[in-house]
């Protein structure tokens, strides 16, 4: 570890993030924008016994040069991010408290965003979405009841752009390493006749990626119409994206990591002359479009209601070259060519997803001086088709172009209803209660999943207390229960059980004009946790398995400190232990109890830090550092599965030029990622298999691993012109 990282880590032990709240003089915080009524039912404040961090548009803006939302969240407490292509564009991932993206509930304006079947979030489908984000809140742990998949590590709720009273236009462009280009155009009419606004954005991002051929061609749009009067706010939204990315999810082994760390085996094959080549379209090609209708009504001084209708349409495929594939896989009949039976062929196939997701979410909020009461819920349905086509084959047998060699469908319904209350008992104490019932029904008939017809009924209670010592200090304690159904890949991997989490949170917050700190301890006790095994399926998705009893125990510290008038310091630290209890594993043909082992992808130390110099309102420069401790990619504590500790420091500069003409301002931004040129590996996979190499009946367990290297020092620079 470099000396600067060591120093930051030690200082972080004493007090340590960017962001529990915007700076405020007391725990009452600042007034929210009107649009936040759309997420008020699922967001929390300092008066709620939930651990959380906020990021606003202004905090995101200096670093928003084309990278995905997970990368922009990298410096929040307990957050670990990764990028398949190595530079933050294309497929990116996030883990919170060691929990992967399938366990982080994501909503956009209160509407579920996680894919209903995989439970993952694919930000590549919505490139440049940060440019249409007003704010986001990351609740760590179970958090408060929300819509969609249960939160087992965190929940992330995003609020899209607020309406603008004034008309504006904006052109933004950025350029960077690996031929990365981002261009977008934004506009707003402002409020017409004091009631109606129309606004939108168009974006295009291209990048070659750090990894060989890990290119991305990403396009997206965002269009909203808003209507407001004294008691009503209605917004109609259309947004979506189209991504074409060359696959880079195969990773590389340890030897290749040392000799050729940008090597990408995707699409590799040998031609008729035995020459190694790479198929030029080993890629994803996927489109996703979203429609939302949001309606908030202020009924009187105490009651307001929210209703949202939504529809998401997704379709696309993964195209790949297959060398010497068996006829049986595709239903081909063996051929006789020159007296030789042919039963394998080179071919190109597409594996399709074609799905619809639609429903409604709703809430009603009653507020008095002592009571904040919310009742809400939602009903959502997913309908998905999975099918495969052969679009070319060297020997096609009796097939026709685009014959489907598999054709599966699945449906999933998700109904939930919750009620929450925060009641002020006296001047110091307030009590919080949150009860949720969730019903999930999932049907699938895939060859990989088998016949699935499961229904789950979950009850998720949450209770807590908040003690306000004074206007600057408060303490909180909460106990929350979450239940969660398996995802599609879990059914592919076996006969999974639903999992249950009991989450205990204990925290202290201090807020003053120049100093804010939040400290919390947590204990997350799991039953039948579906932990990552380290293995991937045949399309690069991580596999999981139930492990019986397991837990996560940790402390998190984050702070914002003004060092005089021009310096701001935002450190954070998370220390944890994450264990499977009495983990059983078959090694060398013998079932062994390995005792308590480390949960995969769960580092014990995660440190973040931001130091900013702001000499004027027009100029700021910030250094951002992240340190992630050693972690295992499997659950058996094998050194083969180790991801070494790593650190990264970024340098971010923003300068605003004020103008007095048609152009109102020009904002110049620069970002140098990984300025110390560390050769980091942030993700990987681990696998084992048993074999009898000597044919003597002696079984030997073989272990292997793959790694996803990240880019060394690289840069992005951009300019935004505001009209």
Q: What is the pLDDT of residues 558-592, one digit of tens each?
A: 999 999 999 999 999 999 999 999 998 888 888 88
Whether 212 and 206 have beta carbons less than 8 Å apart is answered as no
Residue of 285, 282, 284, 245 lying closest to 265 (CA atoms): 282
pLDDT tens track for 611-653: 999 999 999 999 999 999 999 999 999 999 999 999 999 999 9
Q: Which positions ≥6 away from 706 have C-beta within 8 Å?
A: 250, 251, 252, 253, 684, 685
Read off the pLDDT of residues 387-425 as tens digits, 9 standing for 90 and up. Answer: 999 999 999 888 888 889 999 999 999 999 999 999 999
Q: Residue 28's pLDDT is what? A: 38
Domain ranges of the chain: 3-722
The pLDDT score that the predictor gives to residue 33 is: 60
pTM of the model: 0.92
Helices (H), 440-523: 488-492
Q: What CA–CA distances, in Å, run from 136 to 54, 88, 132?
A: 6, 19, 11
Label the pairing between strands 104-108 and 154-160: parallel
Q: Is the pLDDT of residue 199 over 80?
A: yes
Burial classification of residue 594, based on how many CB atoms lie within 10 Å of its CB (0-12 exposed, 13-18 middle, 19 or more buried): middle
Q: How far from 684 is each of 123, 611, 680, 687, CA to CA, in Å?
A: 19, 30, 12, 10
Residue given tokens 């050769």 in the structure block? 679
Q: How confident is the model at residue 2 (pLDDT cuts 50, 70, 90)?
A: very low
Adjacent-strand bridge partners of 649: 625
Contact 249, 536 (CB under 8 A): yes
Which CATH superfamily includes the segment(s) 3-722?
TonB-dependent receptor, beta-barrel domain (2.40.170.20)
């Amino acid at each position: 570890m470099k000396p600067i990282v060591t120093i930051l880590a030690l200082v972080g032990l004493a007090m340590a993030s960017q962001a529990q709240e915007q700076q405020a003089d007391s725990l009452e915080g600042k007034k929210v924008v009107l649009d936040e009524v759309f997420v008020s039912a699922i967001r929390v404040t300092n008066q709620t016994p939930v651990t959380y961090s906020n990021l606003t548009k202004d905090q995101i803006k200096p670093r928003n040069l084309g990278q995905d939302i997970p990368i922009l969240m990298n410096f929040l407490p307990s957050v670990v991010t990764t990028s398949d292509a190595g530079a933050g564009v294309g497929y990116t991932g996030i883990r919170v408290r060691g929990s992967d993206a399938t366990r982080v509930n994501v909503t956009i304006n209160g509407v579920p965003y996680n894919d209903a079947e995989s439970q993952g979030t694919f930000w590549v489908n919505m490139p440049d979405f940060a440019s249409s984000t007003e704010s986001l809140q990351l609740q760590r742990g179970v958090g408060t009841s929300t819509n969609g998949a249960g939160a087992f590590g965190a929940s992330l709720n995003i609020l899209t752009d607020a309406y603008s009273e004034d008309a504006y236009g904006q052109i933004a462009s950025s350029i960077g390493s690996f031929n990365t280009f981002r261009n977008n155009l934004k506009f707003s009419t402002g409020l017409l006749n004091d009631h109606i606004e129309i606004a939108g954005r168009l974006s295009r991002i291209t990048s070659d990626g750090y990894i060989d051929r890990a290119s991305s061609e990403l396009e997206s749009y965002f269009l909203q119409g808003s209507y407001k009067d004294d008691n009503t706010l209605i917004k109609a939204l259309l947004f979506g994206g189209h991504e074409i990315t060359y696959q880079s999810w195969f990773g590389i082994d340890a030897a290749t990591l040392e000799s050729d760390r940008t090597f990408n085996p995707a699409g590799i094959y040998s031609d008729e002359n035995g020459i190694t080549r790479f198929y030029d379209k080993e890629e994803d090609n996927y489109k996703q479009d979203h429609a939302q209708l949001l309606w908030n009504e202020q009924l009187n001084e105490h009651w307001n209601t929210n209703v949202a209708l939504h529809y998401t349409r997704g379709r696309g495929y993964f195209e790949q070259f297959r060398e010497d594939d068996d006829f049986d896989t595709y239903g081909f009949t063996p051929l006789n060519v020159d007296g030789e039976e042919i039963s394998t062929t080179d071919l190109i196939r597409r594996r399709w997803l074609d799905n619809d997701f639609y429903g409604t979410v709703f809430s009603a909020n009653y507020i008095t001086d002592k009571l904040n009461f919310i009742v809400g819920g939602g009903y959502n349905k997913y309908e998905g088709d999975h099918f495969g086509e052969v679009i070319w084959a060297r020997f096609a047998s009796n097939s026709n172009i685009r014959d489907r060699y598999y054709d599966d469908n699945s449906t999933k319904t998700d109904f939930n209803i919750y009620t929450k209350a925060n009641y002020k008992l006296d001047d110091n104490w307030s009590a919080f209660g949150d009860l949720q019932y969730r019903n999930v029904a999932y049907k699938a008939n895939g060859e990989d999943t088998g016949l699935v017809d499961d229904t789950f009924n979950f009850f998720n209670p949450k209770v807590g207390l908040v003690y306000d010592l004074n206007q600057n200090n408060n303490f909180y304690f909460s106990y929350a229960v979450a239940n969660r159904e398996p995802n599609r890949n879990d059914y592919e991997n076996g006969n999974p059980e639903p999992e249950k989490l009991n989450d205990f949170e204990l925290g202290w917050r201090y807020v003053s004009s120049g100093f804010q700190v939040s400290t919390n301890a947590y204990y997350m006790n799991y039953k039948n946790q579906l932990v990552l095994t380290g293995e991937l399926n045949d399309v690069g998705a991580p596999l999981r398995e139930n492990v019986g009893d397991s837990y996560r125990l940790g402390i998190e510290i984050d702070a914002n400190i003004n060092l005089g008038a021009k310096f701001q310091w935002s450190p954070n630290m998370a220390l944890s232990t994450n264990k499977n209890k009495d983990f059983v594993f078959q090694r060398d043909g013998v079932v062994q109890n390995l005792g308590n082992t480390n949960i995969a992808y769960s580092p014990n130390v995660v440190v973040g830090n931001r130091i900013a110099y702001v000499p004027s309102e027009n100029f700021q420069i910030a250094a951002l550092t992240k340190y992630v401790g050693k972690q295992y990619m499997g659950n058996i504590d094998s050194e083969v599965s180790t991801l070494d500790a790593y650190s990264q420091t970024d340098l971010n500069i923003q300068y605003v030029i004020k103008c007095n003409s048609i152009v109102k301002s020009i904002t110049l931004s620069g970002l140098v990622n990984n300025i110390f040129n560390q050769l980091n590996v942030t993700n990987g996979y681990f696998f084992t298999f048993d074999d009898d190499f000597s044919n003597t009946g002696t079984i030997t367990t073989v272990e292997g691993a793959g790694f996803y290297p990240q880019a060394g020092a690289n840069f992005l620079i951009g300019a935004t012109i505001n009209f």
